[in-house]
């Protein structure tokens, strides 16, 4: 049986993953309208993955005697004008998600809820992968700066890492 405090924290994590999903969705839309088709495809897929992260939490809460709550989605307010801006925003968001996952680890340890701690480990490694990936994309974009051709090449590259990412994700899903 899930402790109330843990249930509340897991529901907050649901809201965090949902917000991440919609952030990716809105950035995918921005890329789509700016001709960055590789990034658009990548970010639409990231949005789906974040929804999957949210659903894992739903099932865990409901399977352990709690009640998962569908969160309210607030409108995203941000200003971006370059591809680098979009990925910096994503990176910042992923760092925040990592912080909330770490807080969950803390809480589970304090409450001696080792089952939820075990469940949360998947998110710990997922966050590590996401941060590394986003940082590597930013590094590449910064290398080319404002060069149109360079940005085009990077956008094409982003289209290809999408698959590797999907493969890693599928593997993570199996192991969980």
Residue closer to Fe ion, measured from CB, 124 or 153: 124
Q: How far is the CB of 138 from Fe ion (least distance, A)?
A: 15
Span near Fe ion by CB under 5 A; candidates 1-9, 49-57, 114-122, 135-143: 49-57
Q: Which stretch binds Fe ion (CB under 5 A): 26-34, 60-68, 71-79, 122-130?
A: 122-130
DSSP 88-118: HHHHHHHHHHHHHHHHHHHHHHHTT-HHHHH
Cα separation, 92 vs 72, in Å, equals: 21
CB of 24 to Fe ion, least distance (A): 8
* Contact flag: residue 53 with Fe ion (CB under 5 A): yes
Q: Which residue is nearest to Fe ion (CB)?
A: 53
Contact pick of 44, 90, 108, 130 for Fe ion (by CB under 5 A): 130
Binding segment (CB under 5 A) for Fe ion, from list 48-56, 59-67, 84-92, 102-110: 48-56
Instruction: Quote the tokens at residue 27.
Output: 């950035």
State the virtual CA torsion across 171, 36, 30, 44 in degrees, nearest 10.
Answer: -20
Decide: residue 120, CB within 10 A, 0-12 exposed, 13-18 middle, 19+ buried.
buried
Nearest residue (CB) to Fe ion, 53 versus 140: 53
C-alpha 175/C-alpha 53 separation (Å) is 14
Burial of 138 (0-12, 13-18, 19+ CB in 10 A): middle
End-to-end Cα, the chain, rounded Å: 20
Q: Tell the smallest beta-carbon distance from residue 32 to Fe ion (Å).
A: 20
130/151 with CB nearer Fe ion: 130
| Residues at the interface with Fe ion (CB under 5 A) | 17, 50, 53, 130
């Amino acid at each position: 049986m899930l402790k109330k405090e843990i249930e509340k924290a897991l529901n907050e994590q649901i809201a965090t993953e949902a917000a991440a999903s919609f952030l990716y969705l809105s950035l995918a839309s921005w890329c789509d309208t700016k001709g960055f088709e590789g990034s658009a495809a990548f970010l639409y897929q990231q949005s789906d993955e974040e929804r999957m992260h949210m659903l894992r939490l739903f099932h865990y809460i409901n399977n352990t005697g709690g009640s998962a709550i569908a969160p309210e989605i607030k409108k995203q307010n941000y200003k971006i004008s370059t591809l680098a801006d979009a990925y910096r925003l994503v990176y910042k968001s992923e760092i925040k998600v990592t912080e909330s996952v770490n807080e969950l680890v803390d809480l589970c340890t304090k409450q001696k809820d080792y089952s939820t701690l075990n469940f949360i480990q998947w998110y710990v490694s997922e966050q590590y992968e996401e941060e590394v990936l986003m940082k590597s994309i930013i590094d590449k974009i910064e290398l080319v700066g404002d060069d149109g051709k360079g940005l085009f090449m990077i956008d094409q590259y982003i289209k290809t890492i999408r698959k590797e990412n999907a493969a890693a994700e599928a593997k993570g899903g199996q192991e969980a």
